DNA sequence: AACAGCATGTAACTTGTTACATGATTTA
DNA sequence: TAAATCATGTAACAAGTTACATGCTGTT
């Protein structure tokens, strides 16, 4: 049980999912991450979660209870230990907080607008606006669920944050769309002009 | 020159930096990524950039020109080729756009608020607001530079998007801060109550 | 009959990071 | 004189993904 270098944040994310006191399987954790962590952090691949659970078990931060299934394999339900809770609390209090990362693949294409021109970008931007709107709908549903449960007060606050964030994202894209439409019109005007200067054959 | 599976987005990000037509060294690319891509995408490690340049060179998407230095080593300035421009355009037009990822380490801690309580979270939130404000200042400076150059019209649009995004982030955090302050007061009230029920020794 | 959900885990692989080696010039 | 900036690249490592193996149950 040597604690050389700090665990990756993913380990604490998994431990954090278990810190709400429920006994959960790896599969459960992945599902939960998909509708919670995903919106503001990241949802690790299922194989990654199994890997982290193994590591956390080795450190004594979680324990598994074997549950028989009709399958050959058993189901394993994980629970956080006192040592795990302590390690998590220490991490939240002491570990340096990495700067937030936004990795927006659509914006990367907008940044490279000179390669494709405004038409393609308008497609992309519209798709992103729709995607954000869908996220808001999902989040609102999650908030309905979270506000039923007092233990989910902090997750509910974060879900609210996420709605505000997605709303702002849509607004920022709408503004960008205006600028692009402007540019598309100017480009059309230039093409029109070129056509007039070169009379029809 | 086999093109089995798609290149990682990082390769196109590097190629994209070169698509503005300038001849740049690996070092230059890193610096530029640090004050452009970083705000909406990601700035790869310098060693990663050298690696991608090597790959792009192997594919014929970029060529290097050796420039003598007073050092033992030469400086290598990279330029995009026609094949590279074509590959980049194809990527922007055809490649599926991955969903945006927000990885916010501060919010992960807020989500785990039950582990630390509102006091620690208020610290974190204040720090994030300050960090966002600083980003806005940096972005405004970048916009001043970008708007000097017609070739930077699209990057300027994205920088504007980023300002809007950071402003919204601050607002969302301010709202969260209010909710947390509310919660901190309630917690203090509970402690006060506990003190009164247990008279001083 | 095919697919999706439940369920676990390993292995091969890719991606990207940090650390290292090397050394000149400029700034504090 | 210590540090930051300029400058390139490799090697060791960590982190995380996809693909695979296995098999039950319920839905389309």
What sections of B60-152 are H helices per DSSP? Answer: 82-94, 105-111, 113-116, 118-146
Q: Give the pLDDT confidence score for residue B71 in this predicted structure.
A: 74
Per-residue model confidence as pLDDT tens digits over A54-84: 999 999 999 999 998 877 788 999 999 999 9
Per-residue pLDDT tens digits for A84-103: 999 999 999 999 999 999 99
How does pLDDT run along chain B (201 residues), one tens digit per residue? 344 789 999 999 999 999 999 999 999 999 999 999 999 999 999 999 999 999 999 999 999 999 988 777 889 999 999 999 999 999 999 999 999 999 999 999 999 999 999 999 999 999 999 999 999 999 999 999 999 999 999 999 999 999 999 999 999 999 999 999 988 888 788 888 888 887 766
Q: Mean pLDDT, to the nearest integer, of A8-35?
A: 98
| pLDDT tier at A2, thresholds 50, 70, 90 | very low
> Which of B41, B99, B106 shows the shortest C-beta gap to A108?
B41
Distance B53 CA to D6 C1' (A): 19
Nearest chain B residue to A109 by CA distance is: B92
Give me the pLDDT at residue B198, please: 75
What is the C-alpha to C-alpha distance for residues B113 and A43, in angstroms, rounded to an integer? Answer: 19
Gap between the Cα atoms of B14 and B51, Å rounded: 11
Q: CA A156, A159, A161: angle at the middle one, nearest 5?
A: 115
Looking at residue B61, its pLDDT comes to 98
**Is A169's CB within 8 Å of B168's CB?**
yes
Cα separation, B193 vs A19, whole angstroms: 28
Q: Is the pLDDT of residue A4 over 80?
A: no
Tokens of A44: 């690790």
Q: What is the pLDDT of residue A196?
A: 82
Is residue A152 over pLDDT 80?
A: yes
Give the Cα separation of B51 and B64 in Å (integer).
Answer: 14
- Residues facing residue B78 across a β-bridge: B24, B64
Q: Give the minimum alpha-carbon distance from A73 to chain B in angstroms, rounded to a whole number.
A: 32
Q: Do B169 and A165 touch (CB under 8 A)?
A: yes
CA of A47 to C1' of C4 (A): 19
Q: Is the CB of B58 under 7 A from strand C?
A: no
Higher pLDDT, B70 or A25: A25
CA-CA distance, B154 to B162, in Å (whole number)? 12
Q: What is the pLDDT of residue A200?
A: 65
CA-based nearest distance A115→chain B, Å: 6
Whose tokens are 């969302």? That residue is: B172
**Nearest-angstrom CA–CA distance, B201 and A141:** 50
**How many other CB atoms are found less than 10 A from the CB of residue A195?**
10
Reported pTM: 0.92
**pLDDT computed for residue B122 by the predictor:** 95
Quote the percentage of chain A above a pLDDT of 90: 83
Chain A positions touching B11 (Cβ under 8 A) are none
pLDDT at A92: 97
SS3 letters across B25-61: CHHHHHHHHHCCHHHCCCCCCHHHHHHHHHHHHHCCC
Chain-centre distance of CA B85, in angstroms? Answer: 24
For residue B28, which of B77, B71, B74 has the smallest C-alpha distance?
B77
What is the model's pLDDT at position A190? 84
The gap between B55 CA and C14 C1' (Å) is 14
Measured CA to CA in angstroms, residue A37 lies from A42, A121, A124, A156, B156 at distances of: 6, 29, 25, 12, 31
Contact A40 B111 (CB under 8 A): yes
Which tokens belong to B153? 């019209």
Q: Which residue is nearest to nucleotide C16 (CA to C1')?
A: B48
Write the DSSP symbol of residue A151: G
Cβ of A47: how many Cβ atoms within 10 Å? 10
CB neighbours of A151 closer than 8 A, spacing ≥ 6?
A20, A21, B114
Size of interface A-B (CB pairs under 8 A): 204
Q: Which among B89, B127, B180 has CB closest to A116? A: B89
CA A69 from chain centre, in angstroms, equals 32
Task: Compute the nearest-CA separation of A199 from chain B (Å).
Answer: 30
Nearest residue for C10, CA–C1': A47
pLDDT top residue among A130 and B4: A130
First to last CA, chain A: 82
Determine the pLDDT at residue A32: 98
- Decide if pLDDT at A45 tops 60: yes
Cβ atoms of B81 and B102 within 8 Å: the answer is: no
Give the integer Cα–Cα distance in Å for B94 and A79. 45
Which one of B16, B97, B105 has the shortest CB-CB distance to A100? B105
Question: What confidence category does residue A183 fall into, taking pLDDT thresholds of 50, 70 and 90?
Answer: confident
**Structural element, H or E, at residue A133:** helix A118-146
Q: Across the interface, do B40 and A128 touch by the CB < 8 Å criterion?
A: no
Q: Is B44 helix (H, G, I), strand (E, B) or coil?
A: coil
* CA angle (B170 as vertex; A7, A175 as ends), nearest 5: 115
Distance of CA B153 to the CA centre of its chain: 19
CA distances, A23 to each of A58, A65, B114 (Å) = 18, 9, 17
- Residue B128: the pLDDT is 96
Cα A92 to its chain centre, rounded Å, is 20
């Amino acid at each position: 049980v040597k604690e050389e270098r700090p665990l990756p944040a993913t380990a604490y994310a998994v431990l954090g999912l278990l810190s709400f006191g429920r006994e959960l399987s790896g599969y459960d954790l992945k599902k939960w991450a998909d509708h919670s962590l995903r919106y503001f952090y990241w949802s690790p691949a299922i194989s990654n979660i199994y890997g982290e659970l193994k590591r956390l078990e080795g450190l004594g931060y979680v324990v598994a209870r074997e549950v028989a299934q009709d399958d050959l394999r058993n189901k394993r339900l994980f629970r956080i230990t006192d040592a795990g809770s302590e390690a998590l609390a220490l991490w939240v209090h002491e570990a340096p907080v990495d700067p937030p990362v936004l990795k927006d693949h659509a914006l990367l294409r907008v940044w490279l607008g000179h390669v494709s021109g405004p038409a393609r970008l308008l497609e992309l931007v519209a798709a992103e606006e729709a995607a954000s709107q869908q996220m808001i709908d999902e989040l609102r549903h999650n908030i309905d669920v979270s506000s039923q449960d007092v233990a989910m007060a902090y997750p509910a606050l974060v879900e609210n944050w996420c709605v505000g964030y997605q709303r702002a994202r849509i607004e920022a894209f709408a503004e960008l769309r205006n600028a692009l439409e402007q540019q598309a019109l100017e480009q059309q005007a230039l093409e029109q002009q070129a056509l007039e200067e070169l009379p029809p054959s």
